[in-house]
Chain A
Amino acid sequence: MSTVESRTRIGAGVNRVDGPRKVTGTAPYPMDFSVPGQAYGALVQSTVAAGRIVRMHTEAAEAAPGVITVLTHENAPKVGTGPTTVLGAAPPPPLRNDRILHHGQHIAFVVADTPEQATAAARLVRADYEATEPLLDLQDPRAEQLVDPWGMDTSRGDAAAALKSAEVTLQATYTTADNTNNPLGLFATLAAWEGDALTVHDTSQWPSMVRTTLAMVFGIPESSVRVLVPYVGGGFGAGLRVWPHVILTAMAARMIKRPVKLVLTRPQMFTSIGHRPSGVQWLGVGATRDGELVALDHRSLSSLSMEDNDYEPFTWASSFAYRCPDVITQDRQARLNIAVPTSMRAPAEAQGNFALESALDELAHQLRIDPVELRLRNHADVDPRNGLPWSGKALRECYEVGAQRFGWSDRNPEPRSMRDGNWLVGYGMASALFPYFAQPCAAQATVRRDGSALVRSAAADIGTGTYTVMAQLAAEELGLPLDQVRFDLGDSDMPHSMMAGGSGLTGALGNAVHDACRRLLRQFAELAHDDADSPLRGFPPDDMECTDGRIHPTGRPDLGEPYADILARHGLTELTANGNSTPPVPTELGMSLSGAYGAKFVEVRVDADLGLIRVARVVSAIDGGRILNEKTARSQIIGGTVGGIGMTLLEDTATDPRTGRIANGTFADYLVAVNSDIPDLDVVFVGEPDRGTATGTKGVGEVGLVGIAAAIANAVHHATGKRIRDLPITLDALL
């Protein structure tokens, strides 16, 4: 696999190709689709958190105006289960039996002619429950614990012995709250059957997986299922599973032989599509007096629902974040009567990094070593797990450039040493990483008779800029201006794509697009190779490139000719090539895949009497490898930072401790950051194209969020002298 050394390290800040459609309101989101004759669904949800349904009362709803049917566990057809993915087993299908596992569980699905009729009738459905005491407390000893659920626990050396003999030790416990993904776009599903063929518009970050799931659930061929997702109003991880409401909608449509549409309400968004699980972390750190890490013991317990899986290895990255000889990391999950947790932007890393980077700040303070210096002393120059060199790691440069832009050297290390009127001023920093992730991807590239190109893959663009950067990449590979290239996605009939998740799509799909374009180029070159009328005749097809829409031998643009001329001479209307990418294998590369790195520097202001916390500025220095589009990449870091500020200071999904009901499931009550909470955010990209992949990208969707929590908490400590180890940090902790 070759690297693309000749390409620019940071691509032009091209505007989003889908921008005009979005700002003019013409981009159709899943809830915008309708088909003739569709009926509307409304969910009925459990009002107890544990127990069983004794009796469903659906008569009033069934008799209500416009109601077509009411599905419950008593009349719902049995269906299959979707595939296990990298995120674990598929969520169990809905309405299987009478058991209640959490408050807000779907217990009935009302279908009516209009959405108002469905909503009104849903309120008429009553259930008699035999309620039992719900398990709601993460540390309830009665809760079943999953040990090493991901097989990702690590141990090297003897952390316990090293901790015992360390010159300096630190033990601390950190907690993080439940957060709810809360994309702005309400999740929607529109399902239409034609015989045994199913077409679904669905809010998803992974159309190919929705197709596979629905085929398995309904026992029909995958080729009979089409999933359409041209636009998604945000996901933050909530669209990575096929949730029960999607299956209910398709199930109802099949039963009534009419298309059915469901749009979740905002409160239902809190219980139906996952959330970031709460967690507690125990950290033991051993170091020399010079600040060299000698032992790290990082353990976590996070919340899980009764029957689902959730990928949250909080502590895993602590095994390679720093050079440290003796390390143990362990993750546990406790099964509770809660709605299913799921990935939320920077899953596991957001939480694990908060604990690790807070602890390092505590250590730096204890040892009177500058926090940046402490991290430099423990920088992992090679992968500490296996000694392999990194495929690209500019973390040192992140520290250097970030500190310089921030003015870190002005920091007086003494807590409570900086003040501006009533405001205590604090500076804090943290490292960030987000591990490399990729899955197989495919793409197809076509050049038409006029020389324009269409490139496709069944990916989703959840607002990150996939449409734009893939069009840019294809334009570059094919030597075409951007307006001659269309990249299309969001249709499961297109070549298979991985999820828009794990910061992996740009790299994996980019490599597939790269491959498709290179293969297409080769097809043109092969046609021209034996073509007497071509200036390319006799040149080796492997050694071609494109400039200004002309294909030519590498380094010889004077010998080129346009695609259109080759097609015309051969009587072809188009040429198409398929490309693939598979995740690189470290042992084959002889390198560990680095993933993205960053250094975050934050200034906070804390009102000395009132405890108000305001973020005054943030500098994010990011090593994202090659940056395809400086503008959309910067937007990813800004968005991640905003999410990080929300997670740190505001976001807290409150569960009623008696009933398990979400007590703040609205946008008025669940606080996300608003514009006035966010200062100017400085983002700078450093580093080089990653050596491990063809396109050199690392993925920047999540690293923007990681580290913000610890940097803010560390800045709050610097401002006030108070170490807050529990998120969110609200003013009551500082009174």
Chain B
Amino acid sequence: MRAFDYVRATDTREAVRLLADDPEASCLAGGTTQLDLMKDGVLQPPRLIDITRLPLHGIERRDESLHVGALVTMEELAADTTVAERLPMVRESLLLGASVQLRNMATIGGNLLQRTRCRYFRDPTVPECNKRAPGSGCAAVQGAARMHAVLGASERCIALHASDLAVALVALDALVHIQGPTGSRTVPLTEFYLTADVSPERETVLEHAELITGVEIPLPPPAARSGYLKVRDRTSYEFALASAAVQLVLDDGTILEARVALGGVGTKPWRAHAAEHLLTGAPATTATFTEAAEATMQDAWTVPGTAFKVPLARRTLVRELQTVSGVTA
């Protein structure tokens, strides 16, 4: 049997130290990704550091931002009153993800660090996977690809980042608080992820012994309207084929501020800066929305199985811009 050590850390410093001591150790929080991957033989950490007892469970509002402990569960965050009142897009993205059983286990920190669902990555009998074995190639590119990425993708890797929550959070410019061996740092979520066309084997800027301690979500201005649209084949318990997180501030038919991110299409949660640029200051019309959507998908890299995602993502974004703005003309 493949044995591994199990250690339970009681405070954050200890957890970081335990991680620093063992370059191959992994953290265990909700376990909804980690344990799956261990059972499938994709990850074989010699040591699991249980961080579930760390004091990172709280949700706290400080002025106009919400501080969410890394160990808050998806279901807890969705039920938070500030989230319900001020962050409907976050709530929707949470409740459209996974299943209630998984949401009761999965943590916010773990959600941001979830691994791709690519079945070529998740089956260690497949030899070609640049994520698992750098330099070995990508079997998905020539394979049965559908649930794969078209943005930040290349022949090196088309693994999708499947989080819904992270899409809403990149749109909101959430900050990730990180504790490392030499201190703490804060990284904007938009700069937290790396794309697979650059580094399939490395998905975030997080260093080995660093731990996400929490996420800080700036609350939108009261005038903002937002929403999250998730498009998928079945109506529940499936990852997005395309999704859009949209937040708009409108004034008399003009878009004063736009925040846009896409899911289901990127090797990372995809903030659509080009779309925001086109939308900001423009009249809220379907023509504007369409132009923004086209700009977003301009750099898509597709394989035959994923080509449909380009028009689908465009239409998904247009639809959500229409829904949030109330403008369908």
Contact = CB atoms under 8 A, between A and B. Distances in A.
A657 B312 contact: no
A658 B138 CA distance: 12
A27 interface: no
B163 to A, nearest CB: 15
Contacts of B315: 609-610, 735
A568 to B, nearest CB: 57
B273 interface: no
A657 B305 CA distance: 12
Contact of A669 (B147, B235, B312): B147
A650 interface: yes
A668 B117 contact: yes
Contacts of B238: 671
Interface in B278-329: 308, 311-312, 315-316, 318-319
Interface residues of A, number: 39
Contacts of B316: 610
Contacts, number: 84
B193 interface: no
A410 interface: no
A611 B119 CA distance: 25
B231 A612 contact: yes
A523 interface: no
A23 interface: no
B101 interface: no
Contacts of B13: none
Given A47-B125, A117-B1, A610-B319, A663 B120 contact: yes
Given A65-B1, A609-B318, A663-B144, A732 B312 contact: yes
Interface residues of B, number: 30
B236 interface: yes
Nearest to A118: B1
Interface string B131-148: 000000001001110110
B119 A614 contact: no
Given A120-B1, A669-B117, A614 B312 contact: no
B308 A735 contact: yes
Contacts of A655: 144
Contacts of B62: none
B311 to A, nearest CB: 5
Given A120-B2, A657-B142, A731 B312 contact: yes
Contacts of A59: none
A677 interface: yes
Nearest to A673: B234
Nearest to B235: A676
A123 interface: yes
B140 to A, nearest CB: 8
A663 B143 contact: yes
Contact of B41 (A123, A666, A677): A123
Interface string B222-246: 0000000001011111100100000
A657 B319 contact: no
Contacts of B125: 47, 661
Contact of A658 (B123, B142, B231, B237): B142
A420 to B, nearest CB: 14
Contacts of A65: 1
B126 interface: yes
Nearest to A649: B233
Contacts of B1: 64-66, 116-117, 120
A656 interface: yes
B236 A675 contact: yes
Contacts of A611: 312
B146 A654 contact: yes
B233 A664 contact: no
A654 B143 CA distance: 10
A306 B308 CA distance: 34
B235 A656 contact: no
Question: Residue among B125, B142, B236 with the most chain A CB within 10 A?
Answer: B125
B234 A661 contact: no
A282 to B, nearest CB: 24
Contacts of B126: 659, 661
A674 interface: yes
Contacts of A661: 123, 125-126
A90 B147 CA distance: 37
Given A117-B1, A120-B2, A732-B312, A658 B143 contact: yes
A674 B236 CA distance: 7
Contacts of B142: 657-658
A226 B218 CA distance: 68
A668 B231 CA distance: 16
Given A654-B144, A663-B120, A610 B139 contact: no
Contacts of B233: 649-650, 671, 730-731
Nearest to B310: A735
Contacts of A677: 234-236
Contacts of A117: 1
A666 B40 CA distance: 11
Contacts of A657: 142-144
A674 B235 contact: yes
Interface in A630-675: 649-650, 654-659, 661, 663-666, 668-669, 671, 673-675
Contacts of A663: 119-120, 143-144
Nearest to A658: B142
Interface in A141-163: none
Interface in A14-66: 47, 64-66
A506 to B, nearest CB: 32
Nearest to A66: B1
Interface in B79-132: 117, 119-120, 123, 125-126
Contacts of A675: 236
A673 B235 CA distance: 9
A569 B144 CA distance: 74
19 contacts: A66-B1, A117-B1, A610-B319, A654-B146, A657-B142, A657-B143, A657-B144, A658-B139, A661-B125, A663-B143, A664-B119, A664-B144, A674-B235, A674-B236, A731-B233, A731-B241, A732-B312, A735-B311, A735-B315
Interface of A: 47, 64-66, 116-117, 120, 123, 422, 609-612, 614, 649-650, 654-659, 661, 663-666, 668-669, 671, 673-677, 730-732, 735
Closest 6 CB pairs of A and B: A732-B308, A663-B144, A654-B144, A676-B235, A120-B1, A676-B236
Given A116-B1, A661-B125, 16 more contacts: A609-B318, A610-B312, A612-B231, A650-B233, A656-B143, A656-B144, A659-B126, A669-B119, A674-B235, A676-B236, A677-B235, A677-B236, A731-B231, A731-B312, A735-B308, A735-B312
